[in-house]
């Protein structure tokens, strides 16, 4: 039976009561305890800095050459917090409610409320670190709109919020490295968890430069390794992003929660050909400040400037008048797919819609005319001033689009289409962020806990920093207080020897196949299966086919993959091979989970379960639970359920109309 360890009491008091009654580790004992942290993005860097500041000895691992390379750096639009600087009705409860509703009532209330509670502290922390958030004329931090809400609660630093937040966490981490409290292992990849007496006591890591396997022990292990969107091959994730750390934990007994919950982001630059290895995201802040439309006429090949206003279909504003372009990502993505499938798509592929800034450029320009007291301003003058405002707010994003497409988005609308972005599923964790393996924690996107079936925009950065700065220092201490008598764990223990042998055997197996097909061949084939049959829409027939096809592809992989070079050197193809091997197992589980969940909710859209208007139709009576899957062996998974209880947010059919 899964124990989520949710504290008793009212929802608003659970976290404060927990902090007031959890066990503590005194400073002298903290100095004798070692923590292993895998991944140094926002969750990992903030956790490493915070725990080292408290006095713990920390070992931090990342496969990049620097923590600054973590994929957190790619987040553009902003970070949510319930500060109510706009005085527009925001509150902790409203952020909590929007998050639960946006996740289509498939998230754990207690975790989400805690996230909303600490959100304001995150902003204070980051400002103190010097993160250059945008500010209003009067000095207050600026906010902008994001999907799934009717208030402005998203703090931002132009179009590079993730980069600036990561630099803040990185500076705190580097301070602890300089003080000797954190030992940083870059260019290292975790390849297994080591358990002793049922507890996570260390990891096996591979030095990616020399190929040498290393044993590292600790009192607890934190996985902060991000999401698994690259199972689709083409996604907005960095090409190195992978599921290996989480999947190795799954094979050692950590349950995997809600693997089928994948977020499709509505504002991606469309696929241009088979040559692509990744996709590029245009920030959701652009969707919320621009207008989405397609021609009202099918297969309309006219230039967008030649299509008059009355022949344009602003379909989000038409279908969802209350929220318009501010609907959540899953809703916006499905609406774009529906228009394109119906023959209203634009561009050469007809798999795109327009994201148009002309309306808001004119609006901003008129505001500037008033501010500068310019009389008799021409339309050209107004648009010029408006473009200057847009350039100040979103200039780097517009420049990025221009470089990739060769089009000037200040003059013509952007073309966008949905793409795989974030994964709401991840390792199952309890209220304390501990997995089903004692002493093994998962933070940020690596866990399943806060976003249900659909993450609201600008909440990924919020969760990563909340987990690292403000949650794990309390919850891990509650566990380690009972572990202070544990002496340094020797890495010559039989469990370490056995784990290293198993890792070496897997590496040898990959190197000795000497097949004819590249790793990318198998990754692309898996991605096509996943996108076609477990992507924006799923159905029973397609999912059953996908499971069989993935099993066949996996068998072929282990017979015919070609990994050049040797294991005892820098070998990126070997790295990729290990990661794709894990994706081939995860992909099957994703389809199994999607097949089992015979309802539509958030990013999981079963074609058999939809309303007359084509919206997601939940089945609360049968599926109001977290699906936690236990790995039993290849193609063998056992389902465990954590029933979801809603005290404050009673599930209703989501409506953004």
Token pair for residue 201?
A: 């006591």
- Reply yes or no on whether 554 is catalytic: no
**How far is it, in rounded angstroms, from Cα 47 to Cα 34?**
13
How far apart are the two ends of the chain, measured CA to CA in Å? Answer: 39
Question: Counting beta carbons within 10 angstroms of the beta carbon of residue 492, is it exposed (0 to 12), middle (13 to 18) or buried (19 or more)?
Answer: exposed
Question: DSSP string covering 327-367, please?
Answer: S-HHHHHHHHHHHIIIII--SSSS--EEEE-HHHHHHHHHH
| SS3 (DSSP) at 21 | helix
Closest C-alpha among 353, 355, 357, 363 to residue 385? 363
Q: Is 325:290 a contact under the CB 8 Å cutoff? A: yes
Integer Rg of the chain from CA: 24
Greatest pairwise CA separation for the chain in angstroms: 83
Query: For residue 592, what is the enclosing H or E element?
Result: helix 572-596
**How far is it, in rounded angstroms, from Cα 534 to Cα 532?**
6
**How far is it, in rounded angstroms, from Cα 177 to Cα 149?**
39
| SS3 (DSSP) at 36 | strand
Following CA atoms 582, 588, 591, 593 in sequence, which dihedral angle do they give, to the nearest 10 degrees? -80
**How far is it, in rounded angstroms, from Cα 152 to Cα 168?**
23
Closest C-alpha among 167, 170, 190 to residue 36? 190
Q: Are strands 199-207 and 213-217 parallel, antiparallel or unpaired?
A: antiparallel
Q: 144, 215, 329, 618: which one is catalytic?
A: 329
Closest C-alpha among 263, 594, 284, 235 to residue 450? 263
Q: What share of the chain is helix, strand, coil (3-state, %, to 5)?
A: 45, 15, 40
Closest C-alpha among 47, 103, 97 to residue 433? 47
**How far is it, in rounded angstroms, from Cα 449 to Cα 483?**
26
Task: Write the DSSP symbol of residue 434.
Answer: B
Total number of residues shown for the chain? 657
Token pair for residue 24?
A: 């503590």
- Residue positions annotated with a catalytic role: 329
């Amino acid at each position: 039976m899964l124990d989520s360890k949710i504290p008793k009491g009212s929802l608003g008091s659970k976290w404060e009561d927990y902090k007031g009654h959890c066990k503590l580790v005194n400073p002298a004992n903290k100095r004798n305890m070692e923590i292993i942290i895998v991944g140094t993005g926002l969750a990992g860097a903030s956790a490493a800095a915070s725990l080292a500041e408290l006095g713990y000895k920390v070992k931090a691992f990342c496969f990049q050459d620097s923590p600054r390379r973590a994929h957190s750096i790619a987040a553009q639009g902003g970070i949510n917090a319930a500060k109510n600087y706009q005085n527009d009705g925001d509150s902790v409860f409203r952020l909590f409610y929007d998050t639960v509703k946006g996740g289509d009532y498939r998230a754990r209330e207690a975790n989400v409320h805690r996230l909303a509670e600490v959100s304001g502290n995150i902003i204070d922390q980051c400002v103190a670190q010097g993160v250059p958030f945008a500010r209003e004329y009067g000095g207050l931090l600026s906010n902008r709109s994001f999907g799934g809400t009717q208030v402005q609660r998203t703090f931002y630093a132009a179009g590079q919020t993730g980069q600036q937040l990561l630099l803040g966490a990185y500076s705190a981490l580097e301070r602890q490295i300089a003080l000797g409290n954190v030992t940083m292992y870059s260019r290292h990849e975790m390849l297994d968890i080591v358990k002793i007496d049922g507890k996570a006591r260390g990891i096996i890591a591979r030095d990616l430069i020399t190929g040498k396997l290393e044993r590292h022990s600790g009192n607890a292990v934190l996985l902060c390794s991000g999401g698994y969107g690259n199972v689709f091959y083409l996604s907005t994730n960095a090409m190195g992003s992978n599921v290996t750390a989480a999947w190795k934990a799954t094979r050692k007994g950590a349950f995997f929660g809600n693997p089928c919950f994948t977020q499709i982001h509505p504002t991606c630059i469309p696929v241009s050909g088979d040559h692509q290895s990744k996709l590029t995201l245009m920030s959701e802040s652009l969707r919320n400040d621009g207008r989405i439309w397609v021609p009202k006429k099918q297969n309309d090949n006219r230039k967008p400037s030649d299509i008059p206003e009355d022949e344009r279909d602003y379909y989000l504003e038409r279908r969802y008048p209350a929220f318009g372009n501010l609907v959540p990502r899953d809703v916006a993505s499905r609406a774009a797919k529906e228009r394109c499938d119906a023959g209203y798509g634009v561009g050469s592929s007809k798999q795109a819609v327009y994201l148009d800034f002309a309306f808001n450029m004119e609006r901003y320009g008129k505001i500037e005319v008033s501010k500068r007291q310019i009389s008799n301003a021409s339309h050209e003058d107004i648009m010029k001033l408006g473009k200057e405002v847009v350039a100040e707010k979103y200039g780097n994003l517009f420049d990025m689009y221009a470089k990739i497409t060769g089009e000037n988005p200040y003059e013509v609308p952007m073309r966008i289409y949905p793409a795989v972005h974030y994964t709401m599923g991840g390792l199952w964790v309890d209220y304390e962020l501990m997995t089903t393996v004692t002493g093994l924690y998962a933070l940020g996107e690596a866990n399943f806990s806060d976003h249900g079936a659909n993450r609201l925009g600008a909440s990924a950065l919020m969760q990563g920093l909340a987990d690292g700065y403000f949650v794990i220092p309390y919850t891990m201490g509650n566990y380690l207080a009972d572990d202070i008598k544990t002496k340094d764990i020797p890495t010559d223990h039989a469990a370490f020897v056995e784990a290293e042998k198993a890792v070496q055997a897997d590496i040898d197996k990959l190197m000795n196949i000497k097949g004819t097909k590249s790793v990318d061949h198998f990754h692309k084939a898996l991605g096509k299966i996943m996108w076609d049959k477990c992507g924006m829409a799923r159905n029973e027939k397609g999912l059953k086919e996908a499971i069989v096809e993935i099993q066949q592809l996996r068998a072929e992989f282990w017979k015919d993959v070609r990994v050049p070079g040797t294991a005892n050197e820098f070998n990126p193809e070997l790295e990729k091979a290990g990661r794709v091997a894990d994706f081939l197992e995860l992909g099957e589980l994703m389809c199994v989970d999607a097949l089992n969940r015979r309802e539509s909710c958030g990013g999981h859209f079963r074609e058999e379960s939809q309303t007359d208007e084509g919206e997601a139709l939940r089945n609360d009576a049968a599926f109001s639970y977290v699906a936690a899957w236990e790995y039993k062996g290849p193609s063998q998974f056992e389902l465990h359920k954590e029933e979801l209880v809603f005290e404050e947010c009673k599930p209703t059919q989501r409506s953004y109309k």
